[in-house]
Structure 1
Amino acid sequence: MKKTLKTLLVTTGLLGLSFGLAALKPTTAKAAEKLPAQTTKELKDKGTLTIGLEGTFAPYSYRKDGKLTGFEVELGKKIAKEMGLKAKFVPTKWDGLIAGVDTGKFDIVLNNVTITKERQEKYLFSKPYIYSHFALITKKNTNLTKLSQIKGQKIAAGTGTDNALVAKKYKADVVPSSDFTTSLDLIKQDRAKGAINSMSAWYAYKKDHSTKGLKATDVSSEEDPAKIGALMAKKNTSLQKSVNKALDKLRKDGQLEKLSKKYVGGDITK
Structure 2
Amino acid sequence: MKFKKQVLGTVVILAGVLLAGCANGGKNATGKDTNYKSELVKRGSLTIGLEGTFAPYSYRDNGKLTGFEVELGQDIAKKIGVKPVFVPTKWDSLIAGLGSGRYDVILNNINKTPQRAKVYAFADPYIYSRYVLISRSDEKGLKTLASIKGKKLVEGTGTDNFNVATKYGATVVPNGDFPTALGLIRQDRVAATINSREAFLAYAKSNPTSDLKYVDLSKTLAPTAVQPMLNKQSPKLLAKVSAAIKELRQDGTLTKLSEKYFGSDITKAN
Task: Sort the TM-score into its range (normalised by shorter chain).
Answer: 0.7 to 0.9
Residue 235 of structure 1: aligned partner = 233
Q: Could you say which residue in structure 2 is the equivalent of 1:263?
A: 261
Match of 2:112 in 1: 115
State the shift of 1:58 in Å: 0.3
What's the TM-score once normalised by structure 1's chain length? Answer: 0.87
Q: 1:79 aligns with which of 72, 76, 84?
A: 76
For structure 1, list consecutive stretches of 5 or more residues without a partner in the other structure: 1-27
* Partner deviation per Cα, 1:114-165 (whole Å, 9 max, x = no partner): 1112211110001111110011001111121211110110011111111101
Give the secondary structure class of the aligned counterpart of 1:160. Answer: coil
Output aligned runs, 1:93-172, within 5 Å: 93-143=90-140, 144-172=142-170
Looking at structure 2, the residues matched to 56 and 187 of structure 1 have their Cα atoms a distance apart, in angstroms, of 19
Match of 2:216 among 195, 215, 218: 218
Structure 1: which amino acid aligns with 2:225?
Answer: K
Following TM superposition, by how much is the alpha carbon of 1:37 offset from its aligned partner in structure 2, in angstroms? Answer: 3.0
**Aligned residue pairs: how many?**
240
Q: Which amino acid aligns with 2:114?
A: K
CA distance in 1, matches of 2:29, 2:144: 57
In 1, Cα distance between the equivalents of 2:54 and 2:133? 17
Identity of aligned residues (%): 51
Name the SS for the 1:216 alignment partner: strand
User: Partner letter of residue 132 of structure 2?
Assistant: A
**1:197-225: per-residue Cα shift (whole Å, max 9, x none)?**
10000000000011121101110111111
Equivalent position amino acid for 2:29 in 1 = A
Larger Rg: 1
Please state if 1:66 is matched with 2:63.
yes
Cα deviation, residue 108, structure 1? 0.1
What does residue 248 of structure 1 align with? Answer: 246
Q: Which secondary structure state, in structure 1, belongs to the residue aligned with residue 29 of structure 2?
A: helix
Query: Offset of 1:104 from its aligned partner?
Result: 0.5
The runs of 5 or more residues in structure 2 that have no matched partner are: 1-27
Residue 49 in structure 1 maps to residue 46 in structure 2: yes
Query: Mapping of 1:160-199 within 5 angstroms?
Result: 160-199=158-197
Residue aligning to 2:21: none
Counterpart residue type for residue 75 of structure 2: K
What is the aligned partner in structure 1 of residue 16 from structure 2? Answer: none
Q: How big is the shift at 1:178?
A: 3.1
- Taking only aligned residues, the RMSD between alpha carbons, in angstroms, comes to 1.0
What is the SS of the residue equivalent to 2:259?
Answer: helix
TM-score (norm 2): 0.87
Name 1:19's counterpart in structure 2: none
Q: Secondary structure at the match of 1:51?
A: strand
Can you list the C-alpha shifts for 1:66-111, whole angstroms capped at 9, x where unaligned?
Answer: 1000000000000000001100000000011111111110000000
| Equivalent-residue separation in structure 1 for 2:180 and 2:157 (angstroms) | 13
Residues of 1 paired with 2:35 and 2:100: CA distance? Answer: 19
